[in-house]
Amino acid sequence: MNNFIFENATKTIFGPGCVKEYLSCLVKKTAQTDTVMLAYGGGSIKKNGVYEEVMAAMQRAGKTVVEFPGIMSNPTYAKVQEGAKLARENNVGLILGVGGGSVMDCCKAISLAAAYEGDIWADFWARPGVIDFEPLPLIVVVTAAGTGSEMNGGAVITNEALRVKTGRDYPKLNPKFALLDPTYTYSVPKRQMISGGFDTLSHIMETYFSAPDEPNVSDDIMEALMRGVIRDLRAAIKNPKDYTARSNLMWESTMAENRIIKLGKKCDFECHQMEHQLGAYTNCNHGEGLAVLHPVYYRHICEAGAKKFARFATEVWGIQSEGRSELELARMGVEALADFIKQIGLPTSLRELGVDESTELKAIANSCACVPGAYKVMTHEEILEIFRECLL
């Protein structure tokens, strides 16, 4: 394995009833003032009982609550600035993010912007920066599994003016505490649950399909996680209130992005880069965009990484290796992934996401970064070719 240094500052509390039992005392312990900013998305937490439970905890903690609703999927830099302004004006001493990945990502960026006088996009997202000050503390209550944002410092933000969607991971932006109650995910719409589950699978695959290829602990863990996500997605689709499946999906999502599986790995983030820019131009669903792109992208690179793709076929999909060449197995693993995407009802074409010949595919391709770490480094021309193949 490659050399690494590992640290994770987030304390995670997992299980039914964890919000009612722990949130009040955690807020008392963490908040720097008497005012807490409660940030959330489109309002679903007011329909499923989560809002009432959180507000009851705030009352027990004796905190004044300033609400910041309306965080959208693919959160924008403008929304981040709006939240930071609200936090400064109200002397907020803690941000409490309640929702899925978009809410958590936006809250991390707000926690930074509220404590910084400059332009965080220019200084921390357009290029890597150094956070030598303390952002506002953040606690997250997770209501949807998929991004794994609850246990890292990563935040993906869209700058609408520049048409750029970029993610950065700063350990200082890790939430102080993350509360994960799998029963909160029961009310997530089926489509969102499936796309979130595939986002988890994508996070694992993009780390798995990279060097080193010699036997290593990270790859062993990832194979088990991929088999688990596939099993648990199928079970949750069959029965959305299967607690075993939903709790597994929630922890698999966290495990995919709490930095553990990335230890000693190079990582290939090209497909995520492509989807991010596709989302910046079209605002398409993230998990669904990844489902369309992944099989086509992997068809382009599987020959260069045949050894690992062949192992993917045998260890994740259970394809028998006898009588088959390494390259044949590699291609069969990619097609098994494509078949799974169809089986669980995810889109298989960009047209299903509202993309067609009128979309600025060349501009999107040219805006994508050609990242290192992949078995085959892309060019902008090949990225455009992949986008066009995804229209078919």
Average pLDDT on 4-14 reads 92
Query: What was the pLDDT predicted at 359?
Result: 94
Contact 100, 74 (CB under 8 A): no
DSSP notation for 141-171: EE-S-SS-GGGS-EEEEEETTTTEEEEEE-G
Task: Calculate the CA dihedral of residues 197, 198, 201, 205 and round it to 10 degrees.
Answer: -170
Q: Does 1 reside within a domain?
A: no
CATH at 279: 1.20.1090.10
Query: What was the pLDDT predicted at 145?
Result: 96
- Other residues' Cβ atoms within 10 Å of the Cβ of residue 246: 22
Query: What was the pLDDT predicted at 119?
Result: 96
Q: Tell me the C-alpha distance between 118 and 139, whole Å.
A: 24
Assess whether 179 and 242 both reside in one domain: no
Find tokens 């999906």 and name the residue.
249
Nearest one of 100, 243, 114 to 183, comparing CA atoms: 243
Q: Tell me the C-alpha distance between 351 and 47, whole Å.
A: 33
Assess whether 227 and 346 both reside in one domain: yes
Q: Tell me the C-alpha distance between 213 and 218, whole Å.
A: 10
Assess whether 176 and 250 both reside in one domain: no
Q: Does 4 reside within a domain?
A: no
Query: What was the pLDDT predicted at 248?
Result: 98
The strand pairing partners of 138, in sequence order, are 95
Average pLDDT on 176-205 reads 97
Assess whether 177 and 265 both reside in one domain: no
Structural domains of the chain, count? 2
Query: What was the pLDDT predicted at 372?
Result: 87
Q: Under DSSP, is residue 285 helix (H, G, I), strand (E, B) or coil?
A: coil
**What percent of the chain is predicted at pLDDT more than 90?**
96
Q: pLDDT per residue over 312-338, tens digit each? A: 999 999 999 999 999 999 999 999 999
Domain end: 184, 203, 225, which one? 184
Query: What was the pLDDT predicted at 392?
Result: 84
Taking the complete model, does pTM exceed 0.85, yes or no? yes
Domain range for 375: 190-389
Average pLDDT on 66-91 reads 97
Summary mean pLDDT of the chain:
96
Assess whether 108 and 59 both reside in one domain: yes
Q: pLDDT per residue over 134-168, tens digit each? A: 999 999 999 999 999 999 999 999 999 999 999 99
Which residues, including other chains, have CB under 8 Å from residue 294's CB and lie 6 or more apart? 202, 205, 271, 337, 341
Q: What is the β-pairing status of strands 138-142 and 177-180?
A: parallel
**Position 43 confidence tier, pLDDT thresholds 50, 70, 90:** confident
Query: What was the pLDDT predicted at 86?
Result: 98
Average pLDDT on 270-290 reads 94
